[in-house]
């Protein structure tokens, strides 16, 4: 949402005032923000994609977006870690959900891409709440139409660059191989962060390297520390337009039990948040957060971590919009 030089920028409409309406009351939009239809247009659209037909193990991520929204009731309008009030800097609104066919993956991918196209055409950036990681491919297609091939930071326990599962080309384990094949990623600036766990074979790593990805494992973060890792990532990204994709299973199951394919030895929620905050100088054009499966969550641990992660990503975008 932009204003001409002669037209004052409208004051963003922020969250419901928690001193007047308790956090546990009212509709569960993200961070209690207004709906997109209430404000007309937005600088940042928070949109859900309740789709998990592409999972290879435990289902349930179709309910992730609403679980994140419920947990986000506890978010407050000032972010001290980034010294910013994101909802005062930019108009952020909840755009509801993209309704994708749960019985047909290819059609669902097309639906998500078309809906993302429409939102991006308004000038908004997207903060997408999944859903499984299949949705990253259509989102990247849409972003690349606006910005050209983008740099990618992929926070995940897994590579998600496999070729097929059971002959299917579109699953939550294949989106970034497809994205490289389609030329929508800048292959000089691709990184996985937080990967770990067993693989099908060493060929998985060889194939991933050929696609252009660098790997920062969860053990690298533990041994080298957040500041050094973040500096490395910033240097790799440079001033390229950046897309960040966060699979919540990048966190250790102690911090995120509510996900479909958990792996031991992951990042802490503190490490994830600090790495993201350290990327505030990067040109973040859109982001997604996926694979929250509330059926396996305990006391909303996973959804809380996810809501704070989305909040930090939204804050970065809001700061850049207002600069």
Contact indicator for 131, 64 with CB cutoff of 8 Å: yes
Nearest to 205 by CA among 218, 190, 215: 215
Instruction: Find the angle CA(209)-CA(210)-CA(211) to the nearest 5 degrees.
Output: 90
Annotated binding site for Mn(2+): 133, 156, 158, 160, 247, 249
Binding site, annotated residues: 133, 156, 158, 160, 247, 249
**Burial class of residue 38, CB neighbours in 10 A (0-12, 13-18, 19+):** exposed
What's the angle, vertex CA 86, arms to CA 81 and CA 92, rounded to 5? 145
CA angle 209, 213, 215 (to 5 degrees): 95
Q: How many CB atoms lie within 10 A of CB 163?
A: 12
User: Contact 154/168 with Cβ under 8 angstroms?
Assistant: no
Distance CA(169)–CA(163), nearest Å, equals 7
């Amino acid at each position: 949402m932009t204003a001409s030089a002669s037209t004052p920028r409208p004051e963003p409409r922020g969250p419901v005032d928690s001193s007047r309406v308790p956090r546990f009351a009212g509709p569960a939009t993200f961070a209690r923000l207004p709906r997109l239809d209430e404000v007309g247009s937005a600088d940042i659209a928070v949109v859900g994609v309740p789709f998990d037909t592409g999972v290879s193990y435990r289902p349930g991520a179709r309910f992730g977006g609403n679980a994140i929204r419920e947990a986000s009731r506890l978010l407050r309008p000032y972010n001290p870690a980034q010294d910013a009030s994101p909802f005062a800097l930019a108009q952020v609104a909840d755009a509801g959900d993209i309704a994708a066919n749960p019985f047909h993956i290819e059609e669902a991918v097309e639906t998500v891409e078309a809906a993302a196209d429409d939102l991006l055409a308004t000038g908004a950036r997207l903060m997408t709440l999944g859903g499984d990681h299949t949705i990253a491919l259509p989102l990247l297609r849409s972003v690349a139409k606006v910005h050209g091939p983008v740099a990618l930071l992929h926070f995940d326990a897994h590579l998600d660059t496999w070729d097929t599962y059971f002959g299917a080309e579109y699953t939550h384990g294949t989106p970034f191989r497809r994205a490289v094949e389609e030329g929508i990623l800048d292959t000089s600036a691709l990184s996985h962060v937080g990967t770990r766990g067993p693989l099908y074979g060493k060929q998985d790593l060889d194939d991933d390297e050929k696609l252009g990805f660098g790997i920062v494992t969860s053990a690298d973060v533990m041994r080298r520390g957040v500041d050094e890792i973040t500096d490395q990532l910033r240097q790799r990204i440079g001033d390229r337009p950046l897309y960040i994709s966060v699979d919540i299973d990048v966190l250790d199951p102690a911090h995120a039990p509510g996900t479909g394919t958990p792996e031991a030895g992951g990042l802490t929620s503190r490490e994830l948040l600090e790495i993201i905050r350290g990327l505030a100088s990067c040109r973040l054009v859109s982001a997604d957060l996926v694979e929250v499966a509330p059926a396996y969550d305990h006391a909303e641990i996973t959804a809380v971590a996810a809501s704070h992660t989305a909040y930090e990503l939204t804050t970065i975008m809001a700061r850049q919009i207002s600069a």
